[in-house]
Amino acid sequence: MMEITLQHYLVLSTILFAIGLIGVMRRKNLLLLFFATEILLNAVNIAFAAISSYYGDLTGQMFAFFIIAVAASEVAVGLGLLVLWYKRTGKIDLDAMTSMRG
Amino acid sequence: MEAIAFYLFAVLTTVMFLITVLTNHALYALSALAAGMIFISAFFFLLGADFLGAIQIIVYTGAVMALYAFGMMFFDTTRDVVESRTSPQIIFGLSGLAALTVVAMFTAPIISENITALYPAIDGVGNSQMVGMVLFTKFLIPFEVAAVMLLVAMIAGIVLAGKKMDHSLTLMKEEEIERETNEKAQV
């Protein structure tokens, strides 16, 4: 079997990031849009961990930790806002959220 | 052995995330996303980042997915999600951005051949111990800022979603609930 190199992990990370981008482009439901952003953050985490491992440096893992912390707080605030919006309007569609008309 | 594990989990993660992105059912998306998060932690274990893998399972599948699952109780999730088409300009722009990201990711390690480790791994020290040593010396201020940020997020979540929390249906008597539903029906 061939050896797994850094490029393998970067390719995988890119594929997952592209999947997340497809989700962001495709989704109109805000809850499923949040799921797509979680995929984006996880794809980047894989790249950070792989680079950290192959260069023998811990900075990448540190960044991955802070990304996880940011993702957790993003979910808490975002879901709170989403629940509030659903209580007011009864729908969580992105297209229905056009209250700001310029 | 490592190659088999890598390809197995790569295929599993990709399939799970594709299901998350492409399904029209919110519950399938949630389950597939939780499974994908667990499979991603396998990569962290393969890469020797044991602590990060454990954190991935605890925070993502334990906390974030549970939060989403409880949040979905507020929404109507049994109904299929209808997606409307976006404008082609946006899709074109975002596809270009994705292609640019790919190019940047592949060129970044190539142009930095003479890279040196800022906080090199120490022999004979476990990953968790090493993470602790770096986190509490070099990254102490970001760590504290992240802690404050999580506290702010918690308070924001309570303030935003916790309106009328004193109005508890479990503590009310049957007649009170019935009267209230009747009043709502009249309105």
Q: How close B125 gets to chain A, by Cα (Å)?
A: 13
- Judge whether A1 lies within some domain: no
pLDDT at B183: 79
Is residue B134 domain-resident?
Answer: no
Model pLDDT, residue B35: 93
- Give the Å distances, CA to CA, from A14 to A44, B3, B117, B170, B184: 8, 18, 24, 48, 51
Q: Is residue B126 assigned to a domain?
A: no
Q: How confident is the model at residue B18 (pLDDT cuts 50, 70, 90)?
A: very high
CB-based contact B90 A76, cutoff 8 Å = no
Number of domains present in the structure of chain A: 1
**Residues of the domain holding B32:** 1-80
Q: Does B88 touch chain A (CB under 8 A)?
A: no
In this prediction, residue B82 carries a pLDDT of 64
B99 falls within a domain: no
Instruction: Judge whether A102 lies within some domain.
Output: no
In a domain, A50, yes or no: yes
Residue ending a domain, among B80, B104, B127, is B80
Q: Could you report the per-residue pLDDT of B165-186, keeping only the tens digit for each?
A: 666 666 677 777 778 778 777 7
**Are B1 and B76 contained in the same domain?**
yes
Question: Which of B80, B102, B121 is at the close of a domain?
Answer: B80
Return the CATH number at A31. Answer: 1.10.287.3510
Tell which of B52, B80, B108 closes a domain.
B80
A13 vs B68, B81, B105: nearest CB: B105
- Cβ–Cβ under 8 Å, residues A14 and B14: no
CA angle, residues B81, A93, A102, in degrees to nearest 5: 155
Q: How many CB pairs under 8 A join A and B?
A: 211
Asked if A62 is an interface residue toward chain B (Cβ–Cβ < 8 A), one would say yes
Query: What pLDDT was estimated at residue B164?
Result: 66
Q: Which chain B residues are Cβ-neighbours of A69 within 8 angstroms?
A: 146, 149-150
